[in-house]
Homo-oligomer: A and B are copies of this chain.
Amino acid sequence: MKIFEYSKIKPTMFDNEEMKSVAGRVIIGKNDGAKNFCMRIFEIAPGGFTRKHTHEWEHEMFVHAGKGEFLGNGKWNSAKAGDAVFVPMNEEHQIRNTGEDLLVVICLVPSNAPEL
């Protein structure tokens, strides 16, 4: 068993035209012996957003803290801490932080997806 504070993992920072003020971390992945799926956490600062994209794998997400909007079903949908989000494969999606606090999203992908 491994137990650790997620924020102790060094983040990869994304800050460009497509992806603004995002810190990404692989929390549990292949390096830990997790062969079936991978847990990542994205911290999105107020005003920040992830990249709008589509891919051939699903996301299972959970909002741990903050609030924001998720693009899905062709529109922006509000979400807050305590909300779960399922993105089926091949659906265009994006996340933006519309709140005043850090938006912390747990996001899992299957093993055929890139870990970060």
Is A51 an interface residue, CB under 8 A from the partner?
A: no
The residues of A with any CB-CB pair to B shorter than 8 Å are 1-7, 27-28, 32-37, 39, 57-58, 60, 62, 64, 70, 72-73, 77-79, 82-88, 91, 93, 106, 108, 110-111
Q: A1-B91, A34-B58 are in contact. List 14 more A-B contacts (CB 8 A).
A: A1-B87, A2-B84, A3-B70, A3-B78, A3-B79, A4-B83, A27-B60, A27-B84, A28-B84, A33-B58, A34-B86, A36-B37, A36-B58, A36-B111
Q: Quick one: copies of this chain in the complex?
A: 2
By beta carbon, the residue of chain B nearest A57 is B36
- Name 29 A/B residue pairs within 8 A (Cβ), A-sorted: A1-B86, A1-B91, A2-B84, A2-B85, A3-B70, A3-B77, A3-B83, A6-B62, A6-B83, A7-B82, A27-B62, A27-B84, A28-B60, A28-B86, A32-B86, A33-B86, A34-B60, A34-B86, A35-B58, A36-B36, A36-B37, A36-B57, A36-B110, A37-B108, A37-B110, A39-B62, A62-B64, A62-B106, A108-B108
